[in-house]
Amino acid sequence: MATPKRAHNGKPPTQPREVACSRSDLQSAQLRIRQAARKDKGLRFTTLWHHVYHIDCLWDAYLSIKRHAAPGVDEQTWQQYGEDLEANLHDLSGRLQRGAYQAKPVLRTYVPKADGSQRPIGIPVLEDKIVQRAAVGILNNVYETDFKGFSYGFRPGRSQHNALDALSVGITTQKVNWVLDGDIRGFFDAIDHAWLIKFIEHRIADQRVIRHVRKWLNAGVLEDGELTRAEEGTPQGGSISPLLANIYLHYVFDLWADRWRRQAGRKKVTIVRFADDCAPRTHRRTRVLRGGAARKMRGGRTQ
């Protein structure tokens, strides 16, 4: 199926009541969010959700989804949803606006890992993917001003290649005595929901955002026809899971590691983190994770 075209000669579909504004208005609003977040690190944002259900935001989120990705529990594909895209997005926007949207369980499947074990992957339904991607697009305007420079995983304009480049530069241009490779075992399955919400609320005071994050966390996982819900974890495969993981690690690891590096580490330690994998480098024989970083990381166990 070809990429869906806009109705009305390429113009976006008509907007619901609260979002009757242009794409340029949406872009300007996002710019204002970034500027405010950068200027005041203690600012809590109270009105963000209406940007998420903006038709242009939902449209862009839909187009960013992989066309041939496996469907979720409703078995609806990207192509099927696009057959009546304008009506579907209008309906979705309206449900998001009036609070009628409900997250559906994530379908669990497994992919093989290099060591022979299986990695669990969650497959959300298409509409959950759309809304989550739209939410990430708005929330990134806040969190990209907060996240530390040594965090590379699942961030706009950053990749594993950037992380490897940072490691290479640090090792080849500085005197390095020790390199530690750290990984948080079972991190995505062990994120504490209560703490995650507390961390989000440091910056986000819009209760509609918080309520929908709770919906995604509590939607449950469907495996072999059995629905399970847990108070921990965020399924890998969800569009918002990487951002939630970065928010969690920002507060339980990055802020602490950056402060320790500047104080006890005497700026002799540099760090590269990609999602739940971390590689500190030190110029002197120093216990980089002195005191046991594992005890500070409520969401998992170091390995």
Q: What pLDDT sits at residue 177? A: 81
Please report, in angstroms and rounded to a whole number, the separation of the first and last CA atoms in the chain.
45
pLDDT band at 28 (very low <50, low <70, confident <90, very high): very high
56/15: higher pLDDT: 56
- The number of angstroms, rounded, from the C-alpha of 104 to the middle of its chain's C-alpha atoms is 18
265/222: higher pLDDT: 222
Q: Which tokens sit at 291? A: 């005191």
Q: Encode pLDDT of 154-163 as tens digits.
A: 999 998 899 9
| pTM summary value | 0.83
- pLDDT at residue 33 is higher than 60: yes
Of 44, 34, 33, 29, residue with least CA distance to 205? 44
Three-class DSSP category at 183: strand
For residues 240 and 216, the answer to whether their CB atoms sit within 8 Å is: yes
DSSP code at position 231: S
The count of other CB atoms within 10 Å of the CB of residue 90 is 17
